[in-house]
């Protein structure tokens, strides 16, 4: 389960929780390619409903971001969405840039890729 404010999600794989309670997901748990298609750079805040199943787009090609519309089948073969079930109602910022280290949640990685090259002050 993932906890973000009042929202708790259970990420599923074959009907089982993919991560232990309270754990953060690592990039290895996402099947996203290393350079996903360009989706909106900022997070998309969505209202999740308790008990509802969702499929988070991990390829970036979906026209229904941040959710999967099946575009990966032709645009990114071998990539699959991250499926999860919301355990509570509430708003959640889901990653749209596909570079998050905590999928499906935004972790601010979009800011890193937008930063100009070179040393930071």
Question: Taking the domains of the chain in order of start, what are their residue ranges?
Answer: 2-18+29-105
Distance CA 81, CA 5 (A): 23
43-56: average pLDDT: 97
- Residue 2 reports pLDDT greater than 80: no
Q: What confidence tens digit (pLDDT) does each residue in 66-118 have?
A: 999 999 999 999 999 999 999 899 999 999 999 999 999 999 998 886 555 54
pLDDT tier at 18, thresholds 50, 70, 90? very low
1 close to 19: Cβ distance less than 8 angstroms: yes
Strands 82-86 and 16-17, by their bridges, are unpaired
Encoding tokens for residue 70? 């099946």
47 close to 89: Cβ distance less than 8 angstroms: yes
52 close to 45: Cβ distance less than 8 angstroms: no
6-26: average pLDDT: 42
Give the per-residue pLDDT at 110: 86
């Amino acid at each position: 389960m993932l906890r973000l404010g009042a929202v708790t999600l259970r990420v599923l794989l074959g009907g089982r929780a993919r991560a232990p309670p309270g754990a953060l997901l690592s990039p290895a748990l996402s099947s996203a390619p290393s350079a996903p298609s360009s989706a909106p750079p900022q997070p998309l805040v969505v209202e999740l409903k308790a008990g509802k199943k969702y499929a988070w787009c991990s390829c970036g090609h979906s026209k229904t971001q941040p959710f999967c519309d099946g575009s990966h089948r032709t645009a990114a073969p071998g990539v699959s969405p991250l499926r999860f079930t919301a355990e509570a109602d509430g708003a959640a910022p889901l990653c749209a840039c596909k570079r998050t280290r905590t999928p499906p949640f935004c972790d601010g990685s979009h800011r890193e890729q937008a930063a100009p090259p070179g040393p930071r002050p």
